[in-house]
Amino acid sequence: MSDLSATAVATRGAAVSARPVLFTDPETVGADIRALAGPQASIALVPTMGALHAGHLSLVKKARKKADFVVVSIFVNPLQFGANEDLDEYPRTLEADLDALAGKADAVFAPAPGQMYPGGSPSTHIEPGPVARMFEGQARPRLFPGALTVVAKLFALVRPDCAVFGEKDAQQLFLVRQMVRDLSIPVKIVSAKIVRDSDGLALSSRNAYLNAEERRAALALHRALSAAEDNEHLGLSAALSAAQSVLMGEPAVTLDYLVAVDPKTFLPVDDRPSGKVLLLVAAQVGSTRLIDNQKLYFA
């Protein structure tokens, strides 16, 4: 076992509040995790790009309820970043992340890009289909092919029984479920609710880019979704209008899209939907792109 010590194996049960065991080698991580977890243990994976916050930790908590052994992957995936996006600026805080996961996760898999993609960009990619070219995929064309490719690779390397994804990244969650279903990947996908700060802002690693004034302006996204929810009894048009009014009233917010989709298909709904609808919003606040969503119900 390449980076698993005998001491770590022997003390796993006793070191309840110790940092998780760190693995970095893709070639051996599956066998190393199985050796540490034990032959019969169920394994949950929480894929992240690091810079962990309370939202990520809620995913880890959910994973703990679903499996005997929890693995968190930390990998800033270059495949999902476009040429003018924030790959170089994205926060990398491995030591702080390991501290945050102490007593919460059993193992962390944090490979370097050169270990995950030894020849540079891989020749084989996941093509996630038409939904991946809408909304976030239209704004960031490399996002979902890159994200799903690395998720598929993480599943192959770690071999989890289940994986936990946050509902804030609703389109990604939909596409991961679609990939698992289409390719018969034997991993159960578990979702976890959006975690918000006390003022309603959805937690995101990119919130760290916001200055004080931008953060204040960013609250308009949650206020807009709340306004839509308050008006859902009047119908979708009224709900959308209420949300748009909030967003248009905040000059520091540049709206990209505000759209209601069917959560079963992720396609836009008509003007008179029935049942559950997911309202998506994306906007630019300063140099930072933020997304959020809200479930609505129409009788």
Catalogue the active-site residues.
56
Looking from the CA of 274 toward its CB, the CA atoms found within 13 Å total 1
Residue 279 DSSP one-character state: E
Contact 180, 151 (CB under 8 A): no
Q: Which residues contact 179 (CB under 8 A, 6 or more apart)?
A: 126, 128, 148, 151, 152, 185
User: Which residue bears the tokens 């029935």?
Assistant: 274
Q: For Cα atoms 7, 8, 9, give the angle at the middle one, nearest 5 degrees.
A: 90
Grouping H, G, I as helix, E, B as strand and the rest as coil, residue 218 is helix
**What are the phi and psi torsion angles at 156 (to 5°)?**
-65, -35
Under a CB-based contact definition with an 8 Å cutoff, are residues 194 and 202 in contact?
yes
User: Which residues 6+ apart lie within 8 Å of 142 measured at CB?
Assistant: 79, 80, 81, 82
Task: Report the alpha-carbon distance of residue 278 to residue 263 in Å, rounded.
Answer: 6
Whether residue 167 contacts residue 173, with contact meaning beta carbons closer than 8 Å, is answered with: yes
- Give the chain's count of helices (H) and strands (E): 10, 9
Q: Degrees (nearest 5) of the Cα angle 186, 174, 109?
A: 55
For 237, the 3-state DSSP assignment is: helix
